[in-house]
Amino acid sequence: MAHLTSTPVVEPGQDRTMILNMGPQHPSTHGVLRVILEIDGENVVRLMPDIGFLHTGIEKTCEAKFYQQVVPLTDRIDYLCPLTNNLCYVLAVEKLLGLEIPPKAQWLRVLLNELTRINSHLVWLGTHAMDIGALTVFLYCFREREEILRMFEMVSGQRMMTSYFRVGGIALEPPLGFFDRVRDFAGYFPEKVDEYENLLTGNPIWMMRTKGVARMTAEDAIALGATGPTLRGSGVDIDLRRDMPYSGYENFKFKVPVSQEGDVFARYICRVQELRESVEIIRQALDGMPEGPIKADAPHVVLPDREKMKTQMESLIYHFKIITEGFAVPAGEVYQAVESPRGEMGYYIVSDGTAKPYRVHMRAACFANLQTLAKMCEGRLLADVVAAIGSIDIVLGEIDR
Amino acid sequence: MPLTPPITDLEQLKNHPAVARLLAWNAAAVEGVKFDRDEMTVYVERGSVREACVRLKDDPACPFNFLSDVTCVDWYPSEPRFEVVYHLLSIPKKERVRLKVRLDSAGPAVESVTSVWPGANYFEREVFDLFGIRFTGHPCLRRILMPEDWEGHPLRKDYPVEGYR
C-alpha cells in the first residue's frame, strides 16, 4: 500500500483535459512502468513516467559483497542482456586491478556479447511489433531467440542469468561443438532478419504507425542523455564499441547504423541493421578466435582450475583465500562504459582497498532514455505513446535497479 | 597494464582540455585534479559546478556536450562527507572527464545542472532519493525509486544494508 501515497498529484491543467493512468500492469509498458497522461481528447498534453516499482537496492547490496560475488547480481539488472552487464562490471574491476586479459577471453566475451545483443534486440523487435499490432513477428523472433538461449545454456548452464564472466577471464572453456553451433546460427540468421523485414519494413500499416511518429531531434536527444539506438536514430553517430573500444573491439570491422529522421521507424531501422552487424562481428570472432588461456595469470584474483586445486597445495590455498576473504582491490575509482543493446551501460566503482567495493553505481541506459518519452509524445496522439515506449526499448529492471 | 601511481600535480595536467578550459575560466574553481587509471578527475569548488559545466559544454576546442551520469559517494564518517560525481563525455572528441564536488554532512546541497542538461533530471532525483543531497534549482526534486513516504536515504553508509526493521 506504500505506493498509494507515492502517487504524484496531477491536476488537469484546463477544464477540457483529463488524467489517464497507464500501467504499472499494462502489457505495452514492458514491465512495471506507470505513465500518467494528461489528455485532451486523443492528444497527449503532458506525460509523466512513474518508476521505482522494481527497485531492489542492488547498488546497496553490492557494497556488502566480495567483488566476485557481485557478478551474479549484475545479471539481474538488465535481464535481457546479462552478459553485457557481466562484461561491464568485470572490465571495471579489471581496470581497478590493472589486470591484463588474455586475447581468447576477450574474443569470447565479444562473441557472447554480440549474441546477447541479438537476443535482446529480438525480444525488443517481437514485443515492439506486437504492441503495434503485428503479432506474427513476435513468434518468429522468439523462435531464433530460443536457439540463442540454448547456446547460453550450453556455455554457462543457464538460459538467462548466465554469470559467465569472471574478474580476470571467463568461468569455463566453452564446450565442444559450441563454436560449430554459433557458426551454424550465424549462417542462417541473416535470412531470418530478411524474414522480419519482409513482414515489417515495407508494410504500409507498419510505416503509418512508425514513420514521422515520436520524433526527436539530435539536440534534444543529447540534452536528455539518450544513448544507443535511441540517439543514433536521431542522427548522432556514436557507438562506444567503435569510438572508445573495450575488450578488443578495436580488432573488429563493423558499421554503425545511423538514421537521420529521429522517429520510431528510424530507431527500428537502426536496431534491425545492428542485428546484421552483430552477425558480422560474430563471424569475425569465430574466424579469428585466438588460442590460449581463458583466464589471466593472477592467482590472487582468479580461481585455480579444479584439477590443480585438487593436486597442488598452492592452488588450494589460493582457492580457499579467494572464497573466504575475497581479493583486495587497490584503492581508486573507475568509470567503465560499454555499448549495451540499449545504449551506454556504465559502472562506476569506488574501491577503498578492501575486498568489498565501497560503492558500485550503475549508469543504466534506459534510465536516461526514458526521459525522452515526454519529449516524444507530448502533442501527439495517445496511440503513439505505445509505439514510442516500444521504440525506446526499455527494461524496467535496469531502470529501477 | 600495470598500475601507475595517480598524478595529482596540477602543473602536469593543465594541458588536458577540461582542466585547461576550467583554469582559463576561473582558476579558483579548480580545487584539485587527479589522473588515475587513464581517467581524469577534476575537483570543483561546490559553488561553481553549474558554471563549470556550462563552460565545459561550450568549449569550442573540446565540447563536453553529453552528461553521462550523476551519482554520489558517501565517505561517512569523514568530512566532507559526500562527493557528488558527474561524468561528462565529449561526443565529437570522444573524451571523458569526471567532475567532483565535496559536500559537508550538514544540509548537503549543490546547484542543479538541469538547466545545462535537462537529462540530469532523473539522475539528480536519484541522488536526492538515495543520499539526501538537495539540488537547488531542480524543477521537481521528488523521490524517484523509493516510495514517497520512505524515511531515510538508503545508500548512505549509516543506513543498514538490511534496512530498519
* Residue A321 belongs to domain spanning: 75-358+380-400
Quick check: A60 and B155 CB within 8 A?
yes
Domain count for chain A: 1
- The amino acid at residue A82 is P
Distance of CA A330 to the CA centre of its chain: 28
Chain A 206-235, residues with CB within 8 Å of chain B CB atoms: 222-226
Q: Is B8 on the interface with A (CB under 8 A)?
A: no
Q: How many CA atoms lie within 13 A of A52 on its CB side?
A: 21
Do residues B8 and B21 lie in contact, with contact meaning Cβ atoms separated by under 8 Å? no
Q: Does residue A190 carry a pLDDT above 90?
A: yes
- A362 pairs with which residues across the strands? A347
Q: Among A81-85, A143-147, B60-64, which stretch is predicted with the lowest mean pLDDT?
A: B60-64
Looking at CA atoms only, how far is residue A158 from chain B in angstroms?
A: 28
Residue A150: band (very low, low, confident or very high) from pLDDT cuts 50, 70, 90: very high
| B114: Cα within 13 Å, side-chain hemisphere | 17
Question: CA torsion A296→A249→A390→A361, rounded to 10°?
Answer: 50
pLDDT at A7: 46
The CATH number that applies at residue A143 is 1.10.645.10
Residue of B nearest to A240 (CA): B94
On the question of pLDDT at A10 being above 60, the answer is: no
pLDDT band at A2 (very low <50, low <70, confident <90, very high): very low
A35–chain B Cβ distance below 8 A for any pair: no
- Cα–Cα distance, A208 to A211 (Å, whole number): 6
Q: Is residue A339 part of a domain?
A: yes
Does residue A149 lie in a domain region? Answer: yes
To the nearest whole Å, the CA of B23 is away from the closest chain A CA by 24
CB contact set of A236 (below 8 Å; sequence gap of 6+): A218, A221, A222, A258, B91
Q: What is the mean pLDDT of residues B85-90?
A: 92
Mean pLDDT for the stretch of residues A197-208: 88
B147 to A6: CB separation less than 8 angstroms, yes or no: yes
Cβ neighbours of A335 in B, within 8 Å = 39, 68-69, 87, 96, 98
A2 falls within a domain: no
Q: How many CB pairs under 8 A join A and B?
A: 109
How far is A262 from A331, CA to CA, in rounded Å? 43
Among A57, A333, A337, select the one facing B154 at the smallest CB separation: A57
* Alpha-carbon separation of residue A189 from A186, A208, A282, B27 (angstroms): 5, 27, 11, 57
At A5, the pLDDT band (50, 70, 90 cuts) reads very low
Ordered by start, the domain boundaries in chain B are 10-118
Q: What pTM was computed for the model?
A: 0.91
Residue A180: inside a domain, yes or no?
A: yes
- The CATH superfamily holding the domain B10-118 is NADH:ubiquinone oxidoreductase Nqo5 subunit (3.30.460.80)
Digit-coded pLDDT (tens) for A342-374: 999 999 999 998 999 999 999 999 899 999 998
Helix (H) or strand (E) run with residue B71 in it: strand B66-74
Determine contact, residues A86/A115, Cβ cutoff 8 Å.
Answer: no
pLDDT digits (tens, 9 = 90+) for A307-318: 888 899 999 999
Give the residue carrying C-alpha cell 568461468. A171
Question: What's the pLDDT at B1?
Answer: 62
- 3-class state of residue A93 by DSSP: helix
pLDDT bin (cut points 50, 70, 90) of residue B36 is: confident
The C-alpha of A309 sits at a distance from chain B's nearest C-alpha, in angstroms, of 27
Nearest chain A Cα distance for residue B44, angstroms? 17
pLDDT digits (tens, 9 = 90+) for A210-267: 888 888 899 999 999 899 999 999 989 899 999 889 888 989 999 999 998 889 999 9
pLDDT for B10 = 77
Q: Percentage of residues in chain A with pLDDT exceeding 90?
A: 38
pLDDT tier at B14, thresholds 50, 70, 90: confident
Chain B residues closer than 8 Å to A219 by CB: none
Confirm if A167 and A94 have CB atoms less than 8 A apart: yes
Task: Give the model's pLDDT for residue A390.
Answer: 87
